[in-house]
Amino acid sequence: MKKPPSSPSQIAPTLVDAEAGDAKAQRAVQSVEVGGRLLLTLAAHATAMTLKDLAAGAGLPAARAHPYLVSFGKLGLIEQDAGTGRYALGPAALQLGLSCLHQLDPMKVAVPVAERLAASTDQSVIIALWGNLGPTVVRMIEARQPLHVNMRAGTVMSVLGTATGRAFAAALPGKILEEALAGPMGRFSPADSLGAKELAAELQSAREEMQAHGVTRALGRPVPSVNAFSAAAFDHEGHVALVITALGHADHFDAAWDSAMAVAVREAAAEVSRRLGFATV
């Protein structure tokens, strides 16, 4: 983040280079970036803030922050409590947020992230949604050396016998899973055909796996010699939006829980969740 100018003559909007390392460097209005820090600071706090704390959080002197707040107030982006003098986001900020959420397409958000994950790890990556029949592959991005697996868009994955299915099992409400597995089309593979006691134990195992490591794992199943890590991405309401899975041949896929592969999958899902408005706090 650029250091804000300290001279009053520099407060007026000026054009500055955006990111120095960007090959196609764009131009940006510096005062918008400065004012934006105030809005972002407010967004990061659950309660209204004093001018002093808000300015400090944005890295600005209070005297410099105040004119921005006056302008934002006229636009409805912030509100000031008449009694306490504290500032909070206003109705226009709420409308912007709601409009953004309505325009979000989870797949549009997830595909570029999945493509970067495949490129950086040189492993195949799939995106799966929870469909009428369970975990369903909607996009597969092949590695440079594609895996010889019978998987394509539309493939329905086992809930308990795959990393993808186990990620859904770890994140979805138990009732949804129980109804899906108990229904006439609910037994997606022999791995899912368990008694009630065994089924409950497997679902609990998947939840504990995700809680402990942030990902679920499959070693040589359902395809021998193919390993996989999966993680769920969540929307702004905390619902499972999709699952991202990286899979590759065991000879070239480090399946240790603390491996770079596990971290990459976990971070990819977290990035999608963040962009979908999911708040971790």
Q: What angle do CA 199, 204, 209 make, to 5 degrees?
A: 125
Assigned architecture for domain 104-275: 2-Layer Sandwich (3.30)
- Token duo for residue 116: 């970067």
Q: Has residue 186 got a pLDDT over 70?
A: no
Q: Has residue 98 got a pLDDT over 80?
A: no
Question: How many angstroms separate the CA atoms of 118 and 114, rounded?
Answer: 6
- Give residue 168's pLDDT band: very low, low, confident or very high (50, 70, 90): very high
Domain extents for the chain?
8-102, 104-275
String of b and e for 62-85 (b: at least 16 CB within 10 Å)?
eebbeebbeebeeeebbbbeeeee
Q: Has residue 192 got a pLDDT over 70?
A: no
The tens digit of pLDDT for each residue in 213-271 reads 999 999 988 888 899 999 999 988 889 999 999 999 988 899 999 999 999 999 999 99
Higher pLDDT, 132 or 165: 165
8-102 placed in CATH 1.10.10.10: yes
Q: Of 37, 17, 14, 16, whose CA–CA distance to 25 is shortest?
A: 17
Long-range contacts of 184-191 (CB under 8 A, 24+ apart): 185/133, 186/134, 188/133, 188/134, 188/135, 188/156, 188/157, 188/158, 188/159, 188/161, 189/158, 189/160, 189/161, 189/222, 190/161, 191/158, 191/160, 191/161, 191/221, 191/222
Higher pLDDT, 10 or 239: 239
